[in-house]
Amino acid sequence: MTGAEVLLKALEEVGVEVIFGFPGGAVLPIYDALYNNGKIKHVRTVHEQGAAHAADGYARATGRVGVVMSTSGPGATNLVTGIATAYMDSVPMVVLAGQVSTDLIGRDSFQEVDICGITLPITKHSFMLRDKREIVKTVKQAFHIARSGRPGPVVIELPKDVMAASTSMEEQKLDPDLCFKAHSERTNCCQWEEGLKEAAELIRQAERPVIYAGGGVKLSGASSVLLELAEKVHSPVATTLMGIGCFPQGHELYLGMLGMHGTPWANLAVSECDLLVAVGARFDDRVTGKADEFARNAKIIHIDIDSAEIGKNVRADLALTGDAKEVLSRLVGMVLEKRHDDWLKRIKQFKEKYTAKDLKGRLTPRYVMEEISRLTGGRAIIATEVGQHQMWAAQYYKFEDSSNFITSGGLGTMGFGLPAAIGAKIGRPDKIVFDIAGDGSFEMNCHELLTALRYDVPVIVVVFNNRSLGMVRQWQDMFYGGRFSHSSLGEGTDYSKIAQGFGVAGYRAESCEELRKALKKAMDSEKPAVIEVLIDKDEKVLPIVPPGKPIYHMLGID
């Protein structure tokens, strides 16, 4: 066997079914081995960045490790944005990066870059595979690291001569590497008993509790035990952008999203609570606003698998370091049942005062998202690009499943949504998959429509066309005196025709009726489609907390 054939065999053994990638000189031995491999599907995207985002979307939709492969040099550097996106959102990914032959490394050879060095700050670990006898061990270690503890991306550099070398499965060194086992145990290790007792007592004493749930709840599969805890102690629940879907959205205890574009009642509840239980969340700046005034009246319990997050942004009165599901499962058995009717009545008053009225009959972003939610029953996978449309999706789609919202939260990567939606649909062919896009974000990776077409992946892209970089324009309008510097995209672009130029069905909606017809046609066709929705360029995402202000200081709630 060649090293490349052993590599594919090792990938099969760890359960890989799909690789997203793009071929090139340094990985030709691997692509040659793929020629006769009938077990692993390869999806060739139009650009390596698209491959990385597709692997990311696949991982988020399935809960498995996403795999992306590129050649050396520019192929590998084109993955960097996708790797950083996965790292910021704790997505398990293994990156197979081609490299020049070992005798050429360090000579500035053609298409040589140190991709391990370049990605060092945005990966959990990196391997340079120089020994053909360590292929299987390296693959197994990489997958273990990618999904253990706080998940994240791992890079394996694959020199061309190692992949072309003759070897065998019997020759592989399979001795366990104890340092990685210790890494996993250290990540998950926690001494909880006294902390759990203290947490239960703080919850018993609280009169105005709020649970603040982040993406870690989804990653650990802790949604059901979170619901059990919230109902037992009668505590309202707010989520981060990444936590959307981890708590039933129609539940009386659900507050919605927290932070810069969160619901007024979530922001006000956190600002008035006397106990905040943060689970799988990292207190990022888009949630906290002015950090020293965040939950200023509350004691804070912080539950997170990554000890580095404890106290990093906001002080914690009590920390429990460990897997969210495991910690909550033990905590729920220790807390006492309690009602907080007066507190919930107070929050109900917030909702009654600040719920925005729906403008019936207008083709607004809210109408678009609520119509998609109605047609799909909240069960579609919604991937997004980044910008106003991302916030409208988060605010108005009614998610019924914790794995159904796929968005770039930490890095805020424009161009993420379409390839991520393709990866999600490949991983979950049973699901309807939408990419909610803005015109600016759609332009960045719209060429990946060709990937959807070539592999017959029926994703539906909804493009909000406001002829501008919407979020940039909103900030320029609200905080820069209306000086719209380089945020206009012009009036003439027709994104439905761009889709048709790629051979993909394209629709244009300028009214509610046209939108309903386009959505029905796209959903019935089971083919990739683009629906362009024309909206007013002055539509804003509201409420908004101005930068540097506390989250109770919201604009647009009157």
pLDDT over 90 percentage in the chain = 92
Measured torsion, CA atoms of residues 173, 179, 180, 186, in degrees rounded to the nearest 10: 160
Mean pLDDT of the chain: 94
Is it the case that residue 180 has pLDDT exceeding 80? no
Q: Is residue 551 part of a domain?
A: no
Question: Which neighbouring-strand residues pair with 508?
Answer: 532
Is it the case that residue 243 has pLDDT exceeding 70? yes
Co-location of 266 and 281 in the same domain: yes
Is it the case that residue 246 has pLDDT exceeding 70? yes
Give residue-wise pLDDT tens across range 422-448.
999 999 999 999 999 999 999 999 999
Single out the residue in 319, 354, 389 at which a domain terminates.
354
64 torsion bin: left (phi>0), alpha (psi -120 to 50), beta (else): beta
Is it the case that residue 59 has pLDDT exceeding 80? yes
DSSP string for 261-330: TS-HHHHHHHHH-SEEEEES----HHHHBSGGGTTTTSEEEEEES-GGGTTTSS--SEEEES-HHHHHHH
d(CA 499, CA 521): 15
Q: What pLDDT does 402 receive?
A: 80
Co-location of 250 and 302 in the same domain: yes
Q: Is residue 230 part of a domain?
A: yes
Co-location of 170 and 231 in the same domain: no
Give residue-wise pLDDT tens across range 513-524.
999 999 999 999
Co-location of 412 and 458 in the same domain: yes
d(CA 167, CA 152): 30
The arithmetic mean of pLDDT across residues 54-67, rounded, is 97
Total tally of structural domains belonging to the chain: 3
- What 3-state DSSP class applies to 380? coil
Q: What pLDDT does 472 receive?
A: 98
Q: What pLDDT does 190 receive?
A: 46
Co-location of 350 and 376 in the same domain: no
**Burial of 520 by CB count in 10 Å (0-12 exposed, 13-18 middle, 19+ buried)?**
exposed
Is it the case that residue 216 has pLDDT exceeding 60? yes
How many Cβ atoms from other residues are within 10 Å of residue 356's Cβ? 13
Place of tokens 């490394």: 105
Co-location of 136 and 220 in the same domain: no
Is it the case that residue 251 has pLDDT exceeding 70? yes
Q: Is residue 545 part of a domain?
A: no
Q: What pLDDT does 178 receive?
A: 45
Q: The domain that contains 445 carries what CATH number?
A: 3.40.50.970
Is it the case that residue 186 has pLDDT exceeding 60? no
Q: What pLDDT does 275 receive?
A: 98
Q: What pLDDT does 557 receive?
A: 87
Is it the case that residue 175 has pLDDT exceeding 70? no
Binned at pLDDT 50, 70 and 90, residue 176 comes out as low
The arithmetic mean of pLDDT across residues 59-74, rounded, is 97
Q: What pLDDT does 185 receive?
A: 43
Single out the residue in 122, 153, 185 at which a domain terminates.
185
The arithmetic mean of pLDDT across residues 409-420, rounded, is 97
Binned at pLDDT 50, 70 and 90, residue 191 comes out as low
Single out the residue in 117, 151, 185 at which a domain terminates.
185
Q: Which pair of tokens denotes residue 96? A: 């197979």
Nearest to 243 by CA among 202, 304, 157: 304
The arithmetic mean of pLDDT across residues 111-129, rounded, is 96
Q: Is residue 151 part of a domain?
A: yes
Q: Where are the beta strands (DSSP E) in 333-394?
A: 381-384
The arithmetic mean of pLDDT across residues 486-502, rounded, is 95
**Cα separations (Å) of 431 from 15, 381, 425, 436, 502?**
21, 7, 7, 16, 24
Co-location of 168 and 194 in the same domain: no
Q: Is residue 544 part of a domain?
A: no
Place of tokens 């989250």: 551
List active site positions: 48, 110-111, 160, 471
Co-location of 427 and 465 in the same domain: yes
**Burial of 354 by CB count in 10 Å (0-12 exposed, 13-18 middle, 19+ buried)?**
middle
Q: Is residue 552 part of a domain?
A: no
Q: Where are the beta strands (DSSP E) in 440-546?
A: 460-465, 505-509, 529-534
Q: What pLDDT does 403 receive?
A: 81
- What 3-state DSSP class applies to 537? coil
Is it the case that residue 533 has pLDDT exceeding 90? yes
Co-location of 177 and 80 in the same domain: yes
Q: What pLDDT does 489 receive?
A: 95
Per the model's pLDDT, the better-predicted residue between 171 and 434 turns out to be 434
Q: Is residue 540 part of a domain?
A: no
Give residue-wise pLDDT tens across range 80-108.
999 999 999 999 999 999 999 999 999 98
Give residue-wise pLDDT tens across range 341-388.
999 999 999 999 998 887 777 999 999 999 999 999 999 999 999 999
Co-location of 282 and 168 in the same domain: no
Q: What pLDDT does 181 receive?
A: 52
Co-location of 181 and 201 in the same domain: no
- What 3-state DSSP class applies to 436? strand
- What 3-state DSSP class applies to 355? coil
Co-location of 491 and 454 in the same domain: yes
Backbone angles phi, psi at 219, to 5 degrees: -60, -35
Q: What pLDDT does 492 receive?
A: 86
Q: The domain that contains 264 carries what CATH number?
A: 3.40.50.1220
Burial 535-551 (b: 16+ CB within 10 A, else e): bebebbbbbbbeeeebb
239, containing H or E segment? strand 237-239
Domain ranges, residue 204: 190-354
Q: Is residue 549 part of a domain?
A: no
Residues with Cβ within 8 Å of 247's Cβ and at least 6 positions away in sequence, in order, are 213, 223, 226, 227, 230, 237, 239, 253, 254
